[in-house]
Amino acid sequence: MIWLGDGSHAPIESCVIGQWVMSWNESTKLLEPKRIQQINPQPISSIWDITFSDGRILQMTDTHPLMLPNGEWGAFDVEKSVKEHSWMEDIETHELTVGDSVFSMLDGIMFDRQDEMGLEIVSVEEHSEMEVYNLTDIEDNSNFFVNGMLAHNFNNQGLPIGQK
Q: List, for residues 3-26, the tens digit of each pLDDT value.
A: 999 999 999 999 999 999 999 999
pLDDT tens sequence across 51-92? 999 999 999 999 889 999 888 999 999 998 888 888 888 888
Q: Which residue has better confidence, 156 or 50?
A: 50
Q: Which CATH number fits domain 2-152: 3.40.309.10, 3.30.465.10, 2.170.16.10, 3.30.1320.10?
A: 2.170.16.10
Q: What is the pLDDT of residue 114?
A: 54
Is 58 exposed, middle or buried, given 0-12, 13-18 or 19+ CB atoms closer than 10 A?
A: buried
Judged against a pLDDT cut of 60, whether residue 161 lies above it is answered with no
Q: Which of 77, 72, 46, 95 is nearest to 160 (CA)?
A: 72
- Cβ(135)–Cβ(36) under 8 Å? yes
DSSP string, 94-120: EE--TT-EE-BHHHHHTTT-SS---EE
Cα–Cα distance measured from residue 149 to residue 56, given in angstroms and rounded to the nearest whole number: 10
Q: What is the pLDDT of residue 115?
A: 56
Q: What is the pLDDT of residue 156?
A: 39
pLDDT tens sequence across 103-160? 998 888 876 655 556 789 999 999 889 888 889 899 999 999 999 999 998 543 343 3
Q: What is the pLDDT of residue 49?
A: 94
Judged against a pLDDT cut of 80, whether residue 42 lies above it is answered with no
Q: What is the pLDDT of residue 89?
A: 83
Question: Which residues, at least 6 apart from 117, have a Cβ–Cβ distance to it below 8 Å?
Answer: 69, 101, 104, 106, 107, 110
Cα–Cα separations (whole angstroms), residue 93 to 33, 63, 73: 26, 12, 5
